[in-house]
Structure 1
């Protein structure tokens, strides 16, 4: 089986190479391209997930619906849809870019550091959720507004990146319960797709 590769980036978000995912994540993880997605249902609930207990990075932590890494040459929107299927057996519709240039770095309790340019997407669930237990320990549907308020007040423990993302997403909410879209050309250069979703 071919090792999963991640796209390495310079400080301007340009691709400078690739490396195996497993070998990339350590105490001095280089900057690389990732993505996060928040999946909502038609009732305005957001899907949150608990990372599997034996994951090498941030095990057991509650966080957004799912995260992942586009492969070299893969359209980032296709990568989001692929990862939803892999991790949650979930089909998405209405994929929207929400935070095109989100970046964070954080070190987990085991000393493994994340260092990512991590565009954030939202989407609507178009199927039932059936999590892959090697990736996801538990799932929960929570009203977005309750989740947002609890995270912002520090009343709900979530991953470092999720807490920061929720704070920024709160400023992009629109009246219909969604989020103001960003343009795909606002993505870091390495993530700009050749076509739109």
Structure 2
């Protein structure tokens, strides 16, 4: 069942399960999360999605993002995937959630109720190369500028939620 995602309504009530690829082909609203890790220099840890991912391959994104497993809370899933993708264990704080709908490459659609978490860590990533192609730390002002100048380098969900994260976290 780990290839299934949790379908939700706009109030985040579970209404079913569906295979991940089918959900993205049909653009059905489902539960997801995004994690933002900052270091003590107030830089954001970005990951570059691995080549071969079924969508958004090679694009830069927030530290970690995924979908909770059926029966798993978003907070549990965020901690689990941060470790699985980036090799980092850090306390995470819930920030906010939002719904978005964006067309992706390969004819897929991302329609998510995204739960956003943030944390602090100076640990260097030990990346899972199946998920992550590369990583870098970036100053918030530099990322803001590059998102405007080169939006095609970044995932849709990062472009949508980054300003909300930056505005809510006092670094």
Fold similarity call, TM over 0.5: yes
More helix by share: 2
Judged with a 3 Å threshold, the aligned counterparts in structure 2 of structure 1 residues 73 and 108 are, in CA distance, closer, same or farther, namely same
**Number of equivalences:** 170
Q: Distance in 1 between matches of 2:94 and 2:141?
A: 20
Q: Which residue of 2 aligns with 1:169?
A: 165
Moved over 6 A (4+): none
Q: Paired residue for 1:56?
A: 54
Task: List aligned pairs for 1:123-138, cutoff 5 A.
Answer: 123-125=119-121, 127-138=123-134
Cα distance in 1, alignment partners of residues 111 and 149 from structure 2? 23
2:69 to 63, 71, 74: 71
Looking at structure 1, the residues matched to 146 and 57 of structure 2 have their Cα atoms a distance apart, in angstroms, of 21
Determine if contact 1:90/1:126 at 8 Å carries over to the other structure: no
The structure with more strand, counted as a fraction of residues: 2
TM-score of the two chains, using structure 2 as the length reference: 0.90
Confirm or deny that 1:141 pairs with 2:137: yes
Q: Distance in 1 between matches of 2:2 and 2:146?
A: 38
Of the candidates 139, 154, 162, which is equivalent to residue 149 of structure 2? Answer: 154
Q: TM-score, normalized by length of structure 1?
A: 0.79
Task: Mark the runs of 5 or more structure 1 residues left unpaired by the alignment.
Answer: 178-197
Deviation string 1:68-93 (CA, Å, 9 cap, x unpaired) is: 11112212211101001111111112
Deviations 1:140-192 (A, max 9, x none): 111233223432x3345311211111122232232xx0xxxxxxxxxxxxxxx
2:116 aligned residue: 120
Aligned partner of residue 86 in structure 1, secondary structure: helix
Decide which structure has the larger Cα Rg and report it. Answer: 1
Identify unmatched segments of 5+ residues in structure 2: none
The residue aligned with 1:34 is: 32
Q: Output the CA distance in 1 between the equivalents of 2:41 and 2:3.
A: 35
